[in-house]
């Protein structure tokens, strides 16, 4: 019989919303929210100093700042499941091995260090089918015992009802760093002076601004995920994603929830996430972007693209993925309590 007590699930990450608003962090939070909703105790411990110096609650997830100076290792030892992503996977996995606590690694990219750090964990979570394929190629070159013991695909969960709004009139880019297309963005704005553009500063990377202010381009500070609907998508008629790399592309999926068409560079992740709703142009071809934008901004073309966006949003309902996720974590926790590990 399963233990009815809530599981103690502990995550260690470098930063967390609402102070840090990047796709990986909001993906993780969406996944942890579901565990809270299923009655479990979820605590996130930060490994870097951040702007929020006190413990706080976000949708039931308890967040412990680095400034609290509480012994993370002692808490980790008492946990039923440990979890991490990005830079914290190696140290947390080491503690998990020492304390014999099941370990989950959430993978956000297809870079070799990500797969190398996830080797041997109890559960590796991939954010797309193409990431799973890349992982199989990587692990195909190493011994079976070094692979993750189990894997699951959880596409970055977007709860469409939390983002759905009436589109606005701006062409928008979220995160203006060079890799996201910040330089291309202002060049497009300069060539389309009659169109309004909205740039949202990102949580990481050097943000690119035009050499001189453009009257049709407004740039705002980074926006917490809970405010994206009202402050960004309600002002946007198109979202641009001319990224050099995206393993998925959460912003695009958020935009689809409101029927906002997304124009993107065809990375494997964006091709998978946007599907038939995606409109693609090469990030190195400014004229191609100008042509695509002038076409899709025509009322009839926009209406057709918007309809495809809403269709794709419905296809990306996260319920099934989140059920797989929650049940996998619960199975690990029950295994820990059943004696495969010790306190």
**pLDDT on residue 33:** 96
Question: Do 279 and 176 share a structural domain?
Answer: yes
For residues 112-132, give the mean pLDDT: 97
- Does residue 3 lie within any of the structural domains? no
* Helix (H/G/I), strand (E/B), else coil: 166: coil
- Does residue 27 lie within any of the structural domains? yes
- pTM (2 decimals)? 0.90
Whether the CB-CB separation of 257 and 160 falls below 8 Å is answered with yes
- Does residue 139 lie within any of the structural domains? yes
Question: Do 138 and 43 share a structural domain?
Answer: yes
* Helix (H/G/I), strand (E/B), else coil: 10: strand
pLDDT digits (tens, 9 = 90+) for 71-113: 899 999 999 999 999 999 999 999 999 999 999 999 999 999 9
**pLDDT on residue 2:** 55
pLDDT(3) > 70: no
Question: Do 137 and 12 share a structural domain?
Answer: yes
- Does residue 61 lie within any of the structural domains? yes
- pLDDT class of 141 with cuts at 50, 70, 90: confident
- Does residue 193 lie within any of the structural domains? yes
**pLDDT on residue 154:** 98
Question: Do 255 and 145 share a structural domain?
Answer: no
Whether the CB-CB separation of 253 and 273 falls below 8 Å is answered with yes
Question: Do 272 and 327 share a structural domain?
Answer: no
Q: In whole angstroms, give the CA distance from residue 294 to residue 231.
A: 24
**pLDDT on residue 342:** 44
**pLDDT on residue 1:** 39
Question: Do 176 and 135 share a structural domain?
Answer: no
- Does residue 268 lie within any of the structural domains? yes
Question: Do 217 and 103 share a structural domain?
Answer: no
Question: Do 120 and 31 share a structural domain?
Answer: yes
- Structural domain boundaries, residue 87: 8-157+318-337
- pLDDT class of 21 with cuts at 50, 70, 90: confident
Question: Do 71 and 85 share a structural domain?
Answer: yes
For residues 166-180, give the mean pLDDT: 98
Question: Do 296 and 222 share a structural domain?
Answer: yes
* Sign, Cα dihedral of 53, 54, 55, 57: negative
- Does residue 343 lie within any of the structural domains? no
pLDDT digits (tens, 9 = 90+) for 181-199: 999 999 999 999 999 999 9
Q: In what order do the strands lie in the sheet with 151-153?
A: 56-58, 61-64, 41-46, 8-13, 81-85, 103-106, 123-126, 151-153
Question: Do 307 and 266 share a structural domain?
Answer: yes
Question: Do 328 and 295 share a structural domain?
Answer: no
pLDDT(249) > 90: yes
Conformational region of residue 39, where left means phi above 0, alpha means psi within -120 to 50, and beta covers everything else: left
**pLDDT on residue 4:** 64
Q: How many domains does the chain have?
A: 2
Could you tell me the CATH number of the domain that includes residue 227? 3.40.50.2000
- Does residue 109 lie within any of the structural domains? yes
pLDDT digits (tens, 9 = 90+) for 294-338: 999 999 999 999 999 999 999 999 999 999 999 999 999 998 888
- pLDDT class of 5 with cuts at 50, 70, 90: confident
For residues 3-18, give the mean pLDDT: 91
């Amino acid at each position: 019989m399963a233990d009815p007590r809530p599981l103690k699930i502990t995550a260690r990450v470098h930063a967390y919303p609402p102070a840090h608003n990047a796709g990986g962090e909001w993906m993780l939070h969406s996944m942890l929210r579901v565990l809270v909703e299923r009655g479990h105790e979820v605590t996130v411990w930060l490994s870097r100093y951040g702007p929020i110096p006190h413990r706080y609650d976000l949708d039931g997830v308890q967040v412990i700042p680095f400034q609290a100076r509480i012994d993370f290792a002692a808490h980790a030892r008492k946990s039923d499941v440990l979890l991490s992503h990005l830079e914290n996977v190696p140290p947390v996995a080491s503690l998990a091995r020492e304390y014999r606590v099941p370990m989950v690694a959430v993978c956000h990219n297809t870079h070799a260090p990500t797969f190398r750090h996830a080797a041997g964990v109890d559960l590796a979570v991939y954010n797309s089918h193409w990431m799973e394929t890349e992982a199989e190629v990587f692990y195909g070159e190493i011994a079976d015992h070094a692979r993750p013991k189990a894997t699951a695909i959880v596409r970055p969960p977007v709860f469409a009802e939390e983002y759905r709004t009436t589109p606005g009139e701006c062409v928008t880019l979220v995160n203006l760093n060079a890799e996201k297309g910040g330089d291309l963005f202002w060049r497009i704005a300069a060539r389309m002076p009659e169109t309004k553009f909205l740039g949202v500063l990102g949580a990481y990377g050097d943000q690119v601004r035009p050499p001189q202010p453009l009257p049709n381009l407004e740039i705002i500070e980074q926006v917490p995920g809970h405010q994206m609907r009202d402050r960004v998508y309600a002002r946007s008629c198109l979202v641009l994603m001319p990224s050099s790399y995206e393993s998925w592309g959460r912003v695009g999926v958020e935009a689809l929830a409101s029927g906002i068409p997304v124009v993107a560079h065809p990375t494997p992740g964006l091709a998978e996430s946007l599907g038939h709703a995606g409109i693609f142009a090469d990030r190195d071809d400014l004229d191609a972007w100008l042509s695509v934008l002038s076409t899709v901004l025509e009322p009839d073309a926009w209406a057709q693209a918007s309809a495809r966006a809403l269709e794709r949003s419905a296809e990306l309902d996260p319920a099934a993925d989140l059920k797989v996720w929650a049940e996998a974590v619960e199975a690990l926790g029950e295994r820990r309590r059943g004696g495969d590990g010790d306190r």
